[in-house]
Amino acid sequence: MSQKKYLMTQEGLDKLNAELNTLITDRRKDIIERIQEAVSHGDLSENADYAQAKEEQSFTEGRIQEIEEMLKNIELIDTNHKHANVTIGSTVVVIVGSDDEKSERKYTIVGSNEANPAQGKISNESLVGKMLIGRKAGDEFSVQAPAGDVSYKIKSIA
């Protein structure tokens, strides 16, 4: 069975490695200390601190496993390229809206695990991301949104 590939930029990979390091070196240690302190207070059946620390430990260990699995299956996205068509890793400037109300937005197409629309990073699996892939500067398309169709025109690709 093939493993899922996680598309990620170098920046995203660095953040993921930093999170893993923090979880393993700091968070894990803090939780173990909290559990030991809660155990020293006696009866664990009615010890809320112990229950909460064990729950956090479970969550943290799960996140560590999730990150380690992702790291085994990372496919780095090259963001230092110049293509005529939009690809994963491209930064695209688009004009959004109609003649009456236009705005300019800048998107970087990234993998779903790294997407953060507030920072202009949209997933290649998102509706707009899918519509952008393969297009070139000057192309126009519209996306059906809950509030109605939204028009896009690609101004530039980097």
Q: What are 106's two structure tokens?
A: 């800048």
CATH number of 6-76: 1.10.287.180
Coil vs helix vs strand at 95: strand
Same fold, 6-76 and 91-157: no
Q: Is the pLDDT of residue 132 over 80?
A: yes
Nearest to 16 by CA among 82, 57, 80, 69: 69
Query: Model's pTM, two decimal places?
Result: 0.75
- Please name the CATH architecture into which domain 91-157 falls: Roll (3.10)
pLDDT at position 62 is 97
Q: Which amino acid is at 4?
A: K
Nearest to 38 by CA among 10, 46, 61: 46
pLDDT at position 121 is 95
Q: What are 47's two structure tokens?
A: 């010890």
Q: What are 6's two structure tokens?
A: 């996680």
Q: Is the pLDDT of residue 1 over 90?
A: no
- How would residue 148 be classed by pLDDT, with cut points 50, 70 and 90? confident
C-alpha distances out from residue 132 to 91, 97, 110, Å: 11, 15, 12
- How would residue 135 be classed by pLDDT, with cut points 50, 70 and 90? very high
Instruction: Report strand pairing: 148-157 vs 140-145.
Output: antiparallel
Q: What are 35's two structure tokens?
A: 């559990």
- Tens of pLDDT along 46-55? 778 888 999 9
Looking at every residue in the chain, the average pLDDT score rounds to 90
- Tens of pLDDT along 90-121? 999 999 987 678 899 999 999 999 999 999 99
For the chain, which residues make up each domain, given as ranges?
Answer: 6-76, 91-157
Give CA–CA dist 100/116, Å, rounded: 28
Which element (helix H / strand E) includes 16?
Answer: helix 10-22
